[in-house]
Structure 1
């Protein structure tokens, strides 16, 4: 673990949690307090990932999952507590899948998401199943399998409708729209994005969304709209939405801000706005110094290569800065 990761982890106290054992109840039984501690550890992992990306968090998440699995397999507990422990294990496996996805290790992401989906099936837990299906849809689109991404998003929607959460349905609609745009069904993608935006506006009046969907909102939808216009080749329109996504993104989501700014720089290059593209690329370095994410690193390389192809001094200077950063940080 690098020095940044060590400092961040030390500040959360998570390793202390990972090694601590709350005294067991009567006859060594595991109880509700243990479940609460394990959930608090998982919540800390979410917060670290949101702020700094998944690079340094993966090893902690694996250790947390092993701890939960050890308790599941060796602890003594009543049936109701056992179900909660297995659910924490499934949710932690799902988060491990996300962390490997963010690191661009898609095989490992699939393995962990498969574990989580198995747990959801055994327990009959719709919330966990919806979360995994949404993640698998996102991954399928990312890997160039949009038809599968579409089917997975719709399977998640079928399960989610009964819960009446507009924000959750908005999130799943945005995953569906992403797959449709990659399938070049632009009219259907547009309709689905409009519906996703309408649903998120209703969020405060509907049933609350699950905690794992808390990140979804206007910034995510602006970003999705920007990607849609990018796929359609309308780079000027993409720039407008990507600017809005960056403006709306909460500063606690450091990894997302880095990704959004680099994506904005890419669209500015494609729209012929070399000066602003170079400026946004340079400004992204402030975020990149705090973030470790394989997806962000991939976008950094893409933007650097595009800047190299622009015949403008500002673009060449920005490309030099990005290259220097990648070489010194190990992201090259």
Structure 2
């Protein structure tokens, strides 16, 4: 990003103000916007324009009626208001580096006594060099099977623990496979490597999406699309586009979500997508329509998903990556789509039924679905049930590293604000602070 003009910089007195430092530390953007207005004369309309936000959203945040949790929005605020990245828990922003900085070459550094240089001809100890050594053998179909098995294991561990700790291993394996693609190989082997690399890139993108680091997620999803395109795997390309559609719903971009999932459905149908794949995509389309608030289109997409699912046969050549979309997943996603529309009476029994059938080892899925069930119960005025259900989500939530999951918990916590003094809400907050104290440290207190 180019260096901002001096006229856009915040006064040093504001950036060093203890109130501003603390507001940035806990990402209290309502307080930040108030301080920017009173201390720097930057009014809400100007904040909205600089940060690519709507004036109404800036007003809601300033009034304390809404929080900003999405990483790309936080980055836009840092860049738009010239708040140094470290103050908001971000990496150093591009505009913070002085322009025209040159580095003067230095002379050779003498080797300290006792530190012998590497013997000539030995590769360096960098990761790429090590992986290149590992690649110096012929590939076999059994090796490709082993790589596919490791991906299945990564997904299982992602469900149980979240993707944050897995990411270095996944990225390392992605680099390894891409390195193998640099060599000439028979077409079946090369296509197999492209398929594995595409799956690893999608998984990496998913781990960033789950961490709410949306720019990085989009970069890896795009890489996965390119790898799938190289072997004309349009069903997998549809899967990646569906992931990007889901991410767009989290970024409050329902129009993009609908465009992406529509493209995904076109890809899948053109490739003779299986009924299970088409059912999964129809449900993602329902999510996009529900986020747009389009009731009839949402109901139509839900109906299409169930119709496609009813056509599933044991003989279908389903790709491995869609096996997760079973009957409980269809049911819970149907409930969530109704929940997104505010149709809590339809949503509650569906989500409750699916939750009873959820695998115990799928900690993140159980936590997500319990939170959705709690939200629908709260919409129906069932405060005690909602708080009890939400407490059931806390133990699996504490076992998983997922900022996306934390965001859902915070939203439910904020919805309790008018009822915060009720005994059930008090009990839930106490349990929340016991199990996940850091995740809600910036949330409002009664």
Matched residue, 1:322: 432
Matched residue, 1:6: none
| Match of residue 247, structure 1, among 341, 356, 369 | 356
- In the alignment, the residues of structure 2 paired with residue 314 and residue 30 of structure 1 have an alpha-carbon distance, to the nearest angstrom, of 59
The answer (yes or no) to whether the contact 2:194–2:230 under 8 Å persists in 1 is no
Alignment of 1:175-194 (within 5 A): 175-194=284-303
Alignment of 1:288-327 (within 5 A): 288-310=397-419, 311-327=421-437
The answer (yes or no) to whether the contact 2:291–2:341 under 8 Å persists in 1 is no
- In the alignment, the residues of structure 2 paired with residue 105 and residue 235 of structure 1 have an alpha-carbon distance, to the nearest angstrom, of 30
| Structure 2 residues without counterparts, runs of 5 or longer | 1-129, 442-446
Quote the offset at 1:20 in angstroms: 9.6
Quote the offset at 1:23 in angstroms: 8.3
- In the alignment, the residues of structure 1 paired with residue 256 and residue 166 of structure 2 have an alpha-carbon distance, to the nearest angstrom, of 29
Matched residue, 1:93: 201
Matched residue, 2:43: none
The answer (yes or no) to whether the contact 1:31–1:77 under 8 Å persists in 2 is no
The number of residue pairs the alignment matches comes to 310
Matched residue, 2:234: 126
Map Cα deviations across residues 84-137 of structure 1 (whole Å, 9 max, x no partner): 212211111011111111121111110000101111222222232122111112
Matched residue, 2:318: 209
The answer (yes or no) to whether the contact 1:167–1:208 under 8 Å persists in 2 is no
| Structure 1 residues without counterparts, runs of 5 or longer | 1-18
Closer, same or farther in 2 for the Cα pair 1:62/1:23, shift >3 Å?
A: closer
Matched residue, 1:199: 308
Quote the offset at 1:21 in angstroms: 10
The answer (yes or no) to whether the contact 2:194–2:228 under 8 Å persists in 1 is no
Map Cα deviations across residues 239-288 of structure 1 (whole Å, 9 max, x no partner): 22221221232334221111101121122222211111111122222212
Matched residue, 2:161: 52
Which is helix-richer, 1 or 2?
Answer: 1
| Match of residue 188, structure 2, among 80, 96, 118 | 80
- In the alignment, the residues of structure 2 paired with residue 170 and residue 291 of structure 1 have an alpha-carbon distance, to the nearest angstrom, of 28
Structure 1 length as normaliser, TM-score?
Answer: 0.85
Matched position secondary structure for 2:431: helix
1:144 matches 2:270: no
Matched position secondary structure for 1:292: coil
The answer (yes or no) to whether the contact 1:269–1:277 under 8 Å persists in 2 is yes
The answer (yes or no) to whether the contact 2:395–2:435 under 8 Å persists in 1 is no
Matched residue, 2:268: 160
Flag the structure with more relative contact order, 1 or 2, with Cα contacts below 8 A and sequence separation at least 6.
Answer: 1
- In the alignment, the residues of structure 2 paired with residue 304 and residue 154 of structure 1 have an alpha-carbon distance, to the nearest angstrom, of 34
The answer (yes or no) to whether the contact 2:201–2:224 under 8 Å persists in 1 is yes
| Match of residue 382, structure 2, among 273, 283, 305 | 273
Closer, same or farther in 2 for the Cα pair 1:314/1:35, shift >3 Å?
A: same
The answer (yes or no) to whether the contact 1:164–1:207 under 8 Å persists in 2 is no
